[in-house]
């Protein structure tokens, strides 16, 4: 059988990794796919660099349109990133009847519904294993391996850059900027690293997983997004004293509020008990914990970023498409796991309605009655306390920190209590509120 012909858009970090792994493991991959997989054309703005990577083994062009319009190309791999030219080229490729492989979570989380609809209409596949958790086959696991289950919740460390930064800051005492620069140098960070450090990239991935887990459209605009830029070293230290680690988690979960089913979709720094496996995931590694009603909790761990780990997922999609290209479109695995006519409209819950536990840190004047005032406000809001730390004032100071861990409650109760606590004359400045997940 003739090799399947592939066009590659963008040969930067992941593109070059894909090119190299496909070249290196060509024979093994062919034995698995049943036919050869050959990159015949590469488009990249930097044609000189592209020629260097490809070594003249295929045609190199600057204009991606030449790839998506090429009559001999069966599969287009989009590794440019962003939602500008990438969206345009992906839609053109689909329109031209080509299958698409992409690692572009930003594109799918924001325009996925239109892209999957266009692919459905054309009977082509849009594959995106590399878009979530790099080299970990989490899309395959959610869409196929766990298909018997009603998924209850997913919680994951799904951004390598931020996990790398948090690990380097904790273990090596690096400052934020140095750790970020290293993550960029290692090829983990997005072209705009704000996407990483502000939690946007993790929210893109959580959005895609929520759609596949619950059979809902992708709805990035409804996700709650908080990054690690406001996280303070003192909270990382106090969390450790209380037996917790702080990780940037992407969480999506079924919930029932006032008898109505909804979906939580949120990304924020989260305290996790230090004894959980996921709390010990360090560096650029990713881990995704999925809870299904039949299987219980399953954990997927591996490299979440970088050239070859991501190439591993891109090529897995190439092989899948090569095997399935001739199958009747009706009998392929649906893009978002559920049949397109069986999607539901369960609403994403506003953040005020979510339920979790909280870490509260407040700076107070060390005077009698402070603690009583704070606990009274929490009790009135039906928030009960699990653990508390009160630090000795530093020598010569009268102010000190009080740290509390609460039982589960609704976010709106905590927000209302915080307003009242901050209004106390004995409480200095703003209170720090972080969320806690036991993940048991």
| Length of the chain measured in residues | 440
Q: Which of 162, 310, 357, 432 binds ligand NDP (CB under 6 A)?
A: 310
Decide if 205 is catalytic.
yes
| 103 counts as binding ligand NDP under rule CB under 6 A | yes
Residue of 5, 87, 205, 247 marked active site: 205
3-state secondary structure of 244: strand
Residues ≥6 apart with Cβ < 8 Å to 240: 274
CA angle, 298 as apex, 358 and 277 as ends, to 5°?
A: 55
Stretch touching ligand HSE by CB under 6 A, among 42-50, 119-127, 156-164, 324-332: 156-164
Judged by CB under 6 A, the number of residues near ligand NDP is: 27
| 74 counts as binding ligand NDP under rule CB under 6 A | no
Q: Which of 10, 112, 137, 160 binds ligand HSE (CB under 6 A)?
A: 160
| Pairwise CA distance, residues 125 & 75, whole Å | 9
| Pairwise CA distance, residues 427 & 303, whole Å | 43
User: 81 is in the binding site of which of ligand HSE, ligand NDP, none (Cβ under 5 to 8 A by kind)?
Assistant: ligand NDP
Stretch touching ligand NDP by CB under 6 A, among 13-21, 146-154, 227-235, 343-351: 13-21
Q: What is the 3-state secondary structure (H, E, C) of 401-430?
A: EEEEEECCEEHHHHHHHHHHHHCCCCEEEE
298-312 burial, b at 16+ Cβ within 10 Å, e below that, comes to: eebbbbbbbbbbbbb
| 305 counts as binding ligand HSE under rule CB under 6 A | yes
Least distance (Å) from ligand NDP to the CB of residue 94?
A: 17
Classify burial at 149, counting beta carbons within 10 Å of its beta carbon; exposed 0-12, middle 13-18, buried 19 or more. Answer: middle
| 305 counts as binding ligand NDP under rule CB under 6 A | yes
| Pairwise CA distance, residues 63 & 67, whole Å | 8
Least distance (Å) from ligand NDP to the CB of residue 111?
A: 13
Stretch touching ligand HSE by CB under 6 A, among 153-161, 335-343, 383-391, 407-415: 153-161
| 196 counts as binding ligand HSE under rule CB under 6 A | yes
Q: Which of 78, 190, 226, 437 binds ligand HSE (CB under 6 A)?
A: 190
Least distance (Å) from ligand HSE to the CB of residue 437?
A: 20
User: 196 is in the binding site of which of ligand HSE, ligand NDP, none (Cβ under 5 to 8 A by kind)?
Assistant: ligand HSE
| 129 counts as binding ligand NDP under rule CB under 6 A | no
| Pairwise CA distance, residues 33 & 399, whole Å | 66
Alpha-carbon distance values, 283 to 162, 172, 182, 289, 299 (Å)? 9, 12, 11, 17, 17
Q: Which residues are catalytic?
A: 205
Using CB under 6 A, list all residues that contact ligand NDP.
9-15, 43-46, 64, 79-81, 85, 103-104, 130, 134, 187-188, 190-191, 305-306, 310
């Amino acid at each position: 059988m003739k090799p399947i012909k592939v066009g590659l858009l963008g040969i930067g970090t992941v593109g070059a990794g894909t090119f190299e792994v496909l070249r290196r493991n060509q024979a093994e991959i062919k034995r698995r796919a049943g036919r050869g997989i050959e990159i015949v054309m590469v488009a990249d703005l930097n044609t000189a660099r592209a020629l260097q990577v490809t070594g003249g083994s295929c045609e190199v062009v600057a204009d991606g349109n030449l790839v998506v319009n090429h009559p001999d190309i069966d599969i287009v791999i989009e590794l440019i990133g962003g939602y500008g030219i990438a969206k345009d080229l992906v839609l053109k490729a689909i329109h031209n009847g080509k299958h698409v492989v992409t690692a572009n979570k930003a594109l799918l989380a924001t325009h996925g519904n239109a892209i999957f609809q266009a692919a459905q209409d054309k009977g082509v596949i849009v594959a995106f294993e590399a878009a979530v958790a790099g080299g970990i086959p989490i899309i395959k696991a959610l869409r196929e391996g766990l298909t018997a289950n009603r998924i209850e919740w997913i919680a994951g460390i799904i951004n390598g850059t931020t996990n790398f930064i948090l690990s380097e800051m904790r273990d090596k005492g690096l400052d934020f900027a140095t750790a970020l620069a290293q993550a960029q140098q290692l090829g983990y960070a997005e072209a705009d690293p704000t996407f990483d450090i502000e939690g946007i990239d993790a929210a893109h991935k959580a959005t895609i997983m929520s759609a596949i887990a619950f059979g809902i459209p992708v709805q990035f605009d409804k996700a709650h997004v908080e990054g690690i830029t406001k996280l303070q070293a003192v909270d990382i230290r106090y969390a450790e004293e209380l037996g917790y680690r702080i990780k940037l988690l992407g969480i999506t979960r079924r919930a029932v509020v006032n008898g109505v089913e909804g979906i939580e979709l949120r990304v924020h720094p989260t305290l996790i008990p230090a004894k959980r496996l996921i709390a010990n995931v360090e560096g650029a590694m990713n881990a995704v914990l999925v809870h299904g009603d039949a299987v219980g909790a399953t954990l997927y761990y591996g490299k979440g970023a970088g050239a070859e780990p991501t190439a591993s997922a891109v090529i897995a999609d190439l092989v899948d498409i090569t095997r399935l290209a001739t199958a009747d479109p009706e009998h392929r695995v649906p893009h978002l796991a559920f049949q397109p006519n069986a999607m539901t409209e369960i609403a994403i819950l506003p953040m005020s309605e979510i339920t979790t536990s909280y870490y509260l840190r407040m700076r107070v004047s060390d005077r009698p009655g402070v603690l009583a005032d704070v606990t009274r406000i929490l009790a009135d809001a039906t928030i009960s306390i699990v653990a508390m730390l009160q630090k000795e004032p530093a020598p010569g100071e009268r102010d000190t920190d009080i740290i509390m861990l609460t039982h589960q409650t609704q976010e709106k109760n905590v927000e209302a209590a915080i307003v009242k606590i901050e209004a106390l004359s004995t409480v200095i400045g703003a209170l720090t509120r972080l969320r806690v997940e036991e993940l048991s």
